[in-house]
Amino acid sequence: MNSQELQKAKVNSMKLKTMKESSMKTSGMMRGPWRPMMLFTLRKMQRFLK
């Protein structure tokens, strides 16, 4: 394993960590009064991404 591969692995694990954290935050928000707005935004984003 060379240093470039090691760097890639590091970046990937960091990305995973931030994704996990942001999804935790999002699900936390989903439980609150934010829920309908979040769902609406997610639906809009999905339509936009397609």
| Domain range for 35 | 3-49
- pTM (global) more than 0.85: no
For residue 35, give every residue at least 6 positions away whose Cβ sits within 8 Å of its Cβ, in sequence order, or none: 29
Q: Give 2-36 pLDDT, tens digit per residue.
A: 899 989 999 888 888 888 888 777 666 556 666 67
**R_g (Cα) of the chain, nearest Å:** 16
Spatial separation of the C-alpha atoms in residues 49 and 46, rounded to whole Å: 5
CB 23 within 8 A of CB 15: no
